[in-house]
Structure 1
Amino acid sequence: MHTITVRVNGEECHGQFAETPEDLRPFVEWVDDMARRGERIAVDSETTSLDTFVPGFRLRLVQFGTATDGWLIPAEFGTPFANAVRYALRKLPRMTAQNFPFDGLVFGEHLGVPIEETFRRVVDTKILAHLADSRPEHEGGTGLSLKPLARHYVDPAATDGQTELIKEFHKIGKTKDTGWAHIDIRNPVYLRYALLDVLYGSRVLVALQDECRKRGIPARLAEYEHRIALIGAIIERKGMLIDQPYTERLTVELREEAARYAEVAKRYGVNSVNAPKQVAAALAGMGEVWTEKTDGGDPATGKEVLLPMADLDKDWQRIGARTPNPLADAVLRSKRAGKWATSYTTAMLDKVDASGRIHPHTSTMGARTARWAVSSPPLQQLPSSDWRVRRCVTAGSGRRIVASDFSQVELRVLAAMAGAQNVCDRINAGEDLHNVTTRLVFGIGPEVTDKELKGDKRRKLCKTISLGKAYAGGVDTLSKQTGLPSEQVKRALAQYDAALPEFKRYGKRLTRDAYANRMTVETPSGRVLRLNRDKVYTAIAFMCQSTARDILGQALIEMDDAGLLPHIIGVVHDEVIADPYAEDAEDVARALGERMDMPFRGVRIESDPEVYGHTWGAGYMKPEDKPLYDAPLEVAA
């Protein structure tokens, strides 16, 4: 037995590192005592990486602790140690953890203790921290990671510990990414780091519970978020089957595409598309004029600048407002293809598990508004206009990919919250929301059919303005997205506000409420969202996005209750993706849609369930492309 001593907020605390099987007996006795007393015990794990399902991943150490003492059990030492951890996880009736979906999946995959068995006994401090204040540190919040929370609530001297640990990694010739797998588990810096996690975690929990009570956060909202987090973890565990031969071919194609467009850029004097100064100088030489700057004061050449120059909207569709700049177009396409080859297809191949699946990391409270975030790879960043990367995700043998996606959910929420009854009534009667707003703004009557209106530029403008309302887009942003001069956009906004005055009034009311309530707004679920004082205009966007997210969460709970969760392989934006057997595909798609369809404050929230085909990409292909590119895995291989 080895004892580690640390200080937390001036108090001496101790941890026991079990070195031999004999050391496990007092640990088990401690667990029994804590269980009898009903103490809430902090739990954490140290692993070789963050990729739980990738071959070679190992669980190294599991920590249990209170505010003053803890135990460190090296699960990698063999069966007796792993069994002791299993016993504790099953015996302890009340636990806490920071981001338990990660640890819970690790315990399920590598100890055989399913997350469904443990999560319902856990209070996740990351969830409570998000409910108390979802802002990151650099925007004035407490942050959501354990060490910043500990500094704020427990001990101002609390350190991350990783700085010292990385120095230890360097001593053995490893990096901050590779050191976790190779450092000696008995390294005192490593053990100190591990012990502090549970000591801090125990104390942070008490502080966060008190903070949530002070802020009036409803207990039911915390319970709801824990349920959603468990659903997200189960979806992550199932993962997505990858068509590896296709993904390998696409990687080669994307790299060739990146090189081809890089050659186009060279014709305009740009030797590297990743050299902003070269790109800026060449564009200026071609007569382009723009005002955006980097933080360093140089002309900006990011996507938000180049897309309008290339006459492309955010979905990479032609706007039709100008002649596309060939250099801007080439730089964009070269960089995108290179990024996709690295961040998507290669990443997928590198992270495939033994069964051919990837398990994208799912954060069910990934944004300030609590919207989901998917990373490794970041699937939510894929544009809807290009199906090639989505085509990598395939159904298994005899299965089909189905999905259900909300229809204009943020805007329906906005109409309901703003009390725009006329808009709500027409939506409920079956009219398309964007057609409704276009007709109201421009006074278009029934002499123009919905089919004719669909291709009308005025509809596209109104759609962009509506989305701008829900996503806090200003005149400059809308001008870039539409390709229209700022003055024309201002006039269109004035027409929009005159035709739909409820939206503007609602935005003003939210702003007043925010100023009156210390820069906060409260959503229908009771979630308190903190705004930046210099960006109070985001109130309406935060409200719409957060409420839409909570509607999605309710739909997922209903899917779980209906037994649909085993089919679901991913949630990306508002799209729920599943892979049922082919004979059940229509029924599962319909059932997903039925759970997503629901009333909200007088407006009908609707979805578009669909059987895509053999691959996720099939849902984004033109009908004529499906027979050519949507092949089942057996044929593709």
Structure 2
Amino acid sequence: MTRLVLIDGSSYLFRAYHALPKLSNDLGEPTGALFGVVNMLRGHLKEQPDLLAFVVDASGPTFRDDLYAEYKANRPPMPEDLRAQVEPMMQIVEALGIPVLRVSGVEADDVIGTLALQAAEQGIEVTISTGDKDFAQLVRPGVRLVNTMSGSVLDSDAAVEAKFGVKAAQIVDYLALMGDSVDNVPGVDKCGPKTAAKWLGQYGDLDTVMARADDIGGKIGENLRAALDRLPLSRQLVTIKTDVELGQGPQDLARREPQRDELIALYSRYGFNQALRELTGEGPAGKPTATRPAAMDERPDPAMAVKGQYHCVVDLDTFNVWLDRLAKADAFAFDCETDALDAMQANLVGLSFAIECGEAIYIPLQHRYPGAPTQLAAETVLGALKPLLENPAIGKIGQHGKYDLHVLRRHGIDVQGYRDDSMLASFVWHSAGLRHDMDTLAKRFLGYDTIKFEDVCGKGARQISFADVDLEQATAYAAEDADITLRLNQVFKRKLEGEPGLEKVYRDIEMPLVEVLTRMEANGVLIDAEELRRQTRDLSKRGLQVQEQAYAVAGRKFNLDSTKQLQALLYDELGLPVLVKTPKGQPSTNEDALEAIADQHELPRLILEHRSMAKLRSTYTEKLPEMINTDTGRVHTSYNQAGAATGRLSSTDPNLQNIPIRTEDGRRIRTAFIAPEGRRIVACDYSQIELRIMAHLSEDPGLMAAFESGQDVHRATAAEVFGVPLEQVDSGQRRAAKAINFGLMYGMGAFTLAQQLGIKRGEAQDYIALYFRRYPGVQRFMEGARMQAHQYGYVETVFGRRLHLMEINSRRHAQRAGAERAAINAPMQGSAADIIKLAMRSVHDWLIPHADKAMMIMQVHDELVFEVDTDFVDTLLPEVKQRMQAAVKLRVPLVVDAGVGVNWDEAH
């Protein structure tokens, strides 16, 4: 079918102007609104419509001005920085070969309305691209509205009614009743959307509402009666004309041949690097390529919300029937029920399986409550399932399946063919603003309310073990888990297939990592418990000393852990300035607040020191010995793939990511991570990986040259910024350059830089300005990242992972500014996370035949840690370094530093 796209150019220019930040190109020309419109146009052109037009208002009065002299009288003049973007917009539209329509005496709405109805009558499929609600009156079979900024679609009466509460045919009356303050269309005073929809739902149309005005009571009824004389005019003003004399029809709106050279010149001038790259095949990489973010508001398929048929398998004949079905399946979902949350200690209570959506089984193995039916022997069931679960040709599907893989491994089954994980699919689809547990995903994507664990086991002190749950309840809960996992997998499979870039991240990065992490967690790390106990005693002793010092400085005793007492002491008694406040406006005593005033009095520093030692003691030196697994004698952390929105791994029980390395006490904790006799700890760490990714993404020649030459990049930056020979760079200049290099990646401004360097804010601003003059590509990248985040709602890593920024268009400045800072840093941090994940898989594969000589035991930030036979270290080091450096080819080389020692600190 022929497709026509009618673009409401005037609407989009204004909407883009108000939605996007006030951006400018290198010449200082405003580009924010222009950027938004150009990206919208590129999105439509990618869909390759047969016909399209860019419709804008002509200058001069229209017939509505003749009807009502005050029409649009309240509108302020167009802002100068917006007016300056109109002509460039028209130049780009013309160069793209898109027909432009301006018709005197009417508005763009009327031109679009006329063409839309003409096209629909000719059997042409019409899309009106607009954010203007007035166009909802045109929705009918063959005519739909698409808002490319929000991603919303109105394509039926039901969709219009769901959004506005009235049908498309009632929209004109709906608008007339409410009026429009922007266009100065008079309506009924105090009549909002709900009231207008209520009246039209009750009376059907405006004429009937007017006729029954006396039936409506209260102040709003008085307002309606006062407006009766002007409502017919209001209806005329908001009605889109559909019979404008145009001199051309829909079939005349074919796209002309684009003017490539003109587009290159325009895109280059206004800094539209992504558009330029698509046009020429060159330019900065790592930018979004989709036209809008993955939608979070999809309506679940009602078929997916139907309750399933679940069976409890307690006899051998039924089990064998299902065993045969599982053996013949291409893939099946599975789930383990256990008696503990710790996968390294949990005992298997039962297993559930699903092959087709809506049907599942539960095989109980160890339910032990009084009167529990006889269950199949665990040895029999696991022995029969082992060949299937270890067959890589049969796909296995799970929800946070790493837990289940650990449980089954401990019960003698090494699962192969783990093909899909609904938690990871959800995380790749939309990492931020969404929990990825089964209950949440089922509700959002299936419209299904799951049975909760607390529903069957209770909670708190009265919670029972799953082994004590009766089989009827256990079956309903456990079989549902397998069924819902299978349903979610089908939903996310369809979603990811529609986004090849995201599917590649899921298939090539996240799913292969499950096996790697499972093995690494099972390996665990050896801990010197006695060393940690010595550190605990030392920290306790020194903590008491610091506490006494604090008492002496304060002139009295006080509770160092009491917020109320600290507020009174620091701010009331000592009169220190309040530089940080709590959300409720109270003087803060958190770490940031104390750091801010630590240079003004000794007491805040002592409190920080006391807190640091107490935290190290409670989090690590006291806790780690208690976490040693009694079966293995090692500590087994749990890595979370779906934790940080950037894709970075986090770890719990214990959290290895937060062990401080910049303090002597933090490094001492690492000395307790040891190698057994005859082995060594090897640590391999990416050097300045995020800064290298910045060089890659920005393509700044100066920054790339520093890395390509193998120079000290901070010294090279200092030489560039301060205009001195490399050999004359002093330590202060290098320190300033290092602060800028790393700070800019986190959106640091002059105020923070000034604090870090102990200089005036104006001087810090001069440093940043010098930096951007020397590295203009970095500034362009940063501005581009912000713009793309505002337009798409996300930025991307080098590999296409989307990093969603939920607050990027927030009305609250602090939230919006935080999201803009994240937009700059997230591509670097997310790309670094993806790179080390790829490296882990490569190293893991190489280690498989050498499992008796070496094993990967930890991943922390940009570092991989191994436990290696002493005589195998020289073999491992070059192999691991080569695989880490070859994980991806960037425009600058990746460098890996490595160390060897009897403990982690010595190797680092």
TM-score range, shorter-chain basis? 0.7 to 0.9
Q: Which moved more, 1:59-68 or 1:501-510?
A: 59-68
Task: Report Cα offsets for 1:270-319 as digits up to 9, x if no partner.
Answer: 73333223223322233432332222332222222323434xxxxxxxxx
Aligned equivalent of 2:774: 499
Which structure exhibits the higher relative contact order, with contacts defined as CA atoms closer than 8 Å and separated by 6 or more residues? 1
Aligned to 1:124: 421
TM-score by length of 1: 0.83
Distance 1:218 1:337, change over 3 A: same
Q: CA deviation at 1:76?
A: 3.0
For 2:877 and 2:596, the matched residues in 1 are separated by 37
Instruction: Tell me the residue number matched to 2:695.
Output: 415
Residue in structure 1 matching 2:405, options 104, 108, 130 = 104
1:47–1:330 Cα change, 3 Å: farther
SS in 1 for 2:578: coil
Alignment of 1:201-600 (within 5 A): 201-224=485-508, 225-267=510-552, 268=554, 271-284=558-571, 285-310=573-598, 322=599, 325-353=601-629, 354-385=631-662, 386-448=666-728, 453=730, 456-516=731-791, 518-532=792-806, 533=808, 534=816, 535-563=819-847, 566-598=854-886, 600=889
Letter in 2 for 1:301: T
Distance 1:609 1:305, change over 3 A: same
Q: Is the 8 A contact 1:28 1:88 kept in 2?
A: no
Change (3 A) 1:355 1:12: closer
1:319 is matched with which residue? none
Partner SS for 1:570:
strand
Deviation at 1:187, TM superposition (A): 7.0
AA in 1 matched with 2:706: R
Structure 1 residue 536 displacement after superposition: 3.0
TM-superposed deviation, 1:71: 2.0
**Aligned-pair distance for 1:180?**
5.8
The answer to whether the aligner puts 1:13 opposite 2:308 as a matched pair is yes
Could you tell me how far 1:379 is from its partner in structure 2? 1.3
- What's the offset of the Cα at 1:24? 4.1
Q: Is the 8 A contact 1:45 1:63 kept in 2?
A: yes
Q: Secondary structure at the residue paired with 1:580?
A: strand
Give 2:340's aligned amino acid. S
Q: 1:602 aligns with which of 891, 902, 907?
A: 891
Measured at CA, do residues 94 and 482 of structure 1 come closer, stay the same or move farther in structure 2, by a change above 3 Å? same
Residue 26 (structure 1) aligned with residue 318 (structure 2) = yes
Whether contact under 8 Å (2:577, 2:597) holds in the other structure is no
TM-aligned CA distance change 1:486 to 1:72, over 3 Å: farther
Residues 199 and 481 (structure 1 numbering): CA distance in 2 closer, same or farther, change over 3 Å? farther
CA shift, 1:426, in A, is: 2.5
- Cα distance, 1:369 vs. partner? 1.1
Q: Is residue 434 of structure 2 the alignment partner of residue 145 of structure 1?
A: no
**Preserved CA contact (<8 Å) 1:413 1:544:** yes
CA distance in 1, matches of 2:451, 2:755: 41
- Report the CA distance between 1:485 and its aligned residue: 4.7
Q: Percent identity?
A: 24
1:220 to partner: Cα distance: 3.2
Task: Specify the SS of the correspondent of 1:603.
Answer: coil
2:371 aligns with none
Q: Distance in 2 between matches of 1:541 and 1:398?
A: 42
Q: Deviations over 1:330-375 (max 9, x none)?
A: 2222222222222223332222122321011112443111111122
Once the two structures are overlaid, the 10-residue window that deviates more, 183-192 or 394-403, is 183-192
User: Could you tell me which of 350, 353, 373 is aligned with 1:61?
Assistant: 350
Aligned partners of 1:169 and 1:183 also within 8 Å: no
Query: Which position in structure 2 is the counterpart of 1:617?
Result: 905
Q: What SS does the corresponding residue of 1:387 show, helix, strand or coil?
A: helix
Which one-letter code corresponds to 1:427 in the other structure?
F
Structure 1 pair 280/76, CA: closer, same or farther in 2 (3 Å)? same
Q: Is 1:113 matched up with 2:388? A: no
How far apart, CA to CA, are the structure 2 residues paired with 1:162 and 1:473?
44
**Which stretches in structure 1 are left out of the alignment for 5+ residues?**
1-6, 136-140, 311-321, 621-637
Pairs within 5 Å for 1:192-203: 192-203=476-487
2:340 to 29, 49, 55: 49
CA distance in 2: counterparts of 1:41 and 1:341, whole angstroms: 46
Matched to 2:434, the amino acid is: T
Instruction: Give per-residue Cα distances to partners, 1:207-240, cap 9 Å, x unaligned.
Output: 1112222334454322222112221221111010
Closer/same/farther in 2, CA of residues 185 and 254 from structure 1, 3 Å limit = farther
Residues in 1 aligned to 2:451 and 2:563: alpha-carbon distance in whole angstroms: 34
Cα distance, 1:37 vs structure 2: 4.0
The residue type paired with residue 413 of structure 2 is: V
Partners of 2:481 and 2:362 in 1: how far apart?
A: 11
Q: Residue in 2 aligned with 1:81? A: 378
Corresponding letter in the other structure for 1:595: R
Tell me which amino acid in the other structure corresponds to 1:600: K
C-alpha separation in 2, matches of 1:482 and 1:188: 66
Match of residue 133 from structure 1: 430
- After superposing the two structures, state which structure 1 stretch, 84-93 or 278-287, moved more: 84-93
Change over 3 Å in CA distance of 1:478–1:203 after alignment to 2:
farther
Contact 1:73 1:85 in 2 (8 A): no
Q: Structure 1, residues 571-604: CA drift from partner, whole Å, max 9, x if none? A: 1011111111122223323332222224633201
Q: Deviations over 1:39-98 (max 9, x none)?
A: x322122333332225xx323232223432222223436882354245336426222111
User: What is the distance in 2 between the residues matched to 1:279 and 1:434?
Assistant: 40
**In the alignment, is the contact (CA less than 8 A) between 2:772 and 2:779 conserved in 1?**
yes
Measured in 2, the distance between the counterparts of 1:87 and 1:291 equals 66
Contact 2:400 2:422 in 1 (8 A): yes
TM-score by length of structure 2 reads 0.59
| Alpha-carbon offset, residue 481 of structure 1 | 4.2
3-state SS in 2 of match to 1:605: coil
| Inter-partner Cα distance in structure 2 for 1:480 and 1:216 | 44
* Alpha-carbon distance between aligned partners in 2 of 1:327 and 1:287, rounded to the nearest angstrom: 12
Shift of 1:498: 2.1
Structure of greater Rg: 2
Amino acid in the other structure paired with 1:113: I
Cα distance, 1:530 vs. partner?
1.4
The answer to whether the 8 A contact 2:338-2:467 is kept is no
Task: Tell me the secondary structure at the aligned position of residue 340 of structure 1.
Answer: helix
How many residues are matched?
572
Aligned residue for 1:314?
none
Residue 189 of structure 1: CA displacement?
A: 5.4
User: What SS does the aligned partner of 1:15 have?
Assistant: strand
Q: Deviations over 1:607-634 (max 9, x none)?
A: 11111x21112245xxxxxxxxxxxxxx
Structure 2: distance between partners of 1:239 and 1:471: 33
